[in-house]
Amino acid sequence: MIIDGKAIAAKVRAEVAQAVRDIEARARVKPGLALIRVGNDPASEIYVRGKVKACQETGMAGFEHILPEQTTEAELLALVRKLNVDPHVHGVLVQLPLPRQIDPGAVLDLLAPQKDVDGFGPHNAGALVTGRKGLRPCTPLGILRLLDEAQTRLEGAQALVVGRSNIVGKPVAMLLLERHATVTIAHSRTAALAEQVARADVLVAAIGKAEIIRGDWIKPGATVVDVGMNRNAAGKLTGDVEFARASERARAITPVPGGVGPMTIAYLLSNTIQAARAQLGL
Ligand code: NDP
């Protein structure tokens, strides 16, 4: 089975659009997401534009704040402080990376936990680890949804997450643990990665190195989610898993592009709904 992230993301967006109408009818306010971009990183420009467009398509309010490259940390913190108490704004996203003079930790520490729709701040990260309610990071939520849509048994399964970043690897491992998988986290110092992969019923690859996971390592019948987005010399996007050979052994697998990619924005919108409902007491 090829797991169709585009179709599943469209389903999530339709759920969000329905929730926007419901919230507007009950609370007479539109759910609102503020997006902050500092400087002109070309990838960030594309991401933020895509997020604003996605807000508009679901009927949500998207507030774009574009600040110059020389913005000081104090100036950015002042904007976050303002958005923290703005009643039209239910979610705030600060696009990373930030220019060198700004400490992203200081920004995440200040952001109101109930508006931290990326789930990267210390409050929500702590809530995830301790199993308390909170906003969970978007890409990991999207990955779990893909696994569920592909009817993957997680309870008791051997799950391998390759990558230990704060935005993908660690939180996805925590979500899998919450769902009672037996979770292993691999990284660049892991010895014998092939043997770890061969044991995995569920594999999540979040590395950022083209096709580093060979197709013939995959356990027959495994479910494979490839988070990697790597551009080769010809500009073609490939994942971290050697797709053609892996798909002959896997029970289900995500393609790149069209797998995890579309899920991240869909869950950013979904988190904004969750945040708006909580703030509006719905
Ligand atoms: P990071 O660079 O922060 O983390 C990469 C991880 O991979 C690190 O933990 C690193 O280990 C590990 N790693 C590197 N080389 C190897 C190796 N040879 N063997 C095993 N592990 C290795 O990346 P992110 O987590 O931010 O992103 C990972 C990938 O996912 C990227 O391609 C990114 O573009 C993509 N991505 C896609 C998203 C989407 O929406 N589809 C969203 C976010 C990311 P160590 O810690 O030891 O250095």
User: Ligand 1 atom closest to Cα of 168?
Assistant: 25
Mean pLDDT along residues 119-138: 98
Confidence of residue 11 (pLDDT cuts 50, 70, 90): very high
Fold of the CATH domain 28-112: Rossmann fold (3.40.50)
Q: Does residue 4 carry a catalytic annotation?
A: no
Order of strands, sheet of 91-94, starting from the edge strand that comes earlier in the sequence: 61-67, 32-38, 91-94
- pLDDT for 49 equals 94
User: Ligand 1 atom closest to Cα of 187?
Assistant: 21
- pLDDT for 77 equals 98
- pLDDT for 225 equals 99
Q: How far does residue 31's CA lie from ligand 1's centre (Å)? A: 32
Whether pLDDT at 233 is above 90: no
Q: Torsions phi, psi of 225, nearest 5?
A: -115, 120
Residue 8 token pair:
């599943």
Ligand 1, atom 8, lies closest to the CA of: 163
Whether pLDDT at 10 is above 90: yes
Domain with residues 138-261, CATH architecture: 3-Layer(aba) Sandwich (3.40)
Whether 96 and 121 have beta carbons less than 8 Å apart is answered as no
Helix, strand or coil, per DSSP, at residue 206: coil
| Cα–Cα distance measured from residue 191 to residue 195, given in angstroms and rounded to the nearest whole number | 9
The one catalytic residue among 116, 118, 201, 226: 118
Q: What share of the chain is helix, strand, coil (3-state, %, to 5)?
A: 45, 15, 40
Whether pLDDT at 44 is above 90: yes
Indicate the burial class of 140 (C-beta count within 10 angstroms; 0-12, 13-18, 19 or more): buried
Whether 87 and 63 have beta carbons less than 8 Å apart is answered as no
Q: Kindly report, as residue ranges, where domains of CATH 3.40.50.720 are found in the chain.
A: 138-261
Which pTM was predicted? Answer: 0.97
Give the tens place of pLDDT for each residue, 171-228.
999 999 999 999 999 999 999 999 999 999 999 999 999 999 999 999 999 999 999 9
Q: Kindly report, as residue ranges, where domains of CATH 3.40.50.10860 are found in the chain.
A: 28-112
Task: Round to the nearest angstrom and report the end-to-end CA distance of the chain.
Answer: 38
Cα 128 off chain centre by: 14
Pocket of ligand 1 contains residue 207 by CB under 6 Å: yes
Give the tens place of pLDDT for each residue, 57-96.
999 999 999 999 999 999 999 999 999 999 999 999 999 9
